[in-house]
Amino acid sequence: MAITLVNPAGLPEVDAYRQVSIASGSKLVFVAGQVAWDAAGATVGEGDLAAQVEQCYLNVGTALAAVGATFEDVAKLTVHVVDWAPDKMPLLLEGIARAAAKLGVTPVAPGTLLGVAALDAPDHLVEVEATAVID
């Protein structure tokens, strides 16, 4: 495994992610922002943030698997949420938990959560991109 996740002393411990990742692999993998599309390009969970988060994480998992990587290889996640407000956090965490259960992983790489005005299509509520490191 090319990634070691760390919560350094002096920084708060957050359940949803670790503060630092240390990469020791030799190949960088950049996964384009994944939206809530199924394999045919149809939006999953229209109007349902948790369902869309789940699909985004599943799509990231599919992209990683295609190049021989898993969420254990992810060094950084960036999540873009339309019209973000703190009251959406339970839905975001629910979607992540559902995807994690399906994938059999705990995606806790360092992450950045950004509120955005809009994404590529009006029915998309969230987009997740990943950077991974593999040997």
The whole-chain average pLDDT of the chain stands at: 95
Share of the chain above pLDDT 70, in %: 99
**pLDDT per residue over 15-39, tens digit each?**
888 989 898 888 999 999 999 999 9
The pLDDT of 96-104, averaged and rounded, is 96
pLDDT value, residue 54: 98
pLDDT value, residue 1: 67
Report the C-alpha gap between 22 and 11 in whole angstroms: 16
**pLDDT per residue over 39-92, tens digit each?**
999 999 999 999 999 999 999 999 999 999 999 999 999 999 999 999 999 999
113: left (phi > 0), else alpha (psi -120 to 50), else beta? beta
pLDDT > 90? residue 118: yes
Taking the complete model, does pTM exceed 0.75, yes or no? yes
In 3-state terms, what secondary structure has residue 3?
Answer: strand
The pLDDT of 102-115, averaged and rounded, is 94
74: β partners: 132
What DSSP letter does each residue of 6-28 carry, written as one string?
A: E--TTS--BTTB-SEEEE--SEE
Contact criterion met (CB below 8 Å) for 71 and 104: no
Of 77, 70, 69, the residue nearest 110 (C-alpha):
77
The pLDDT of 97-111, averaged and rounded, is 94
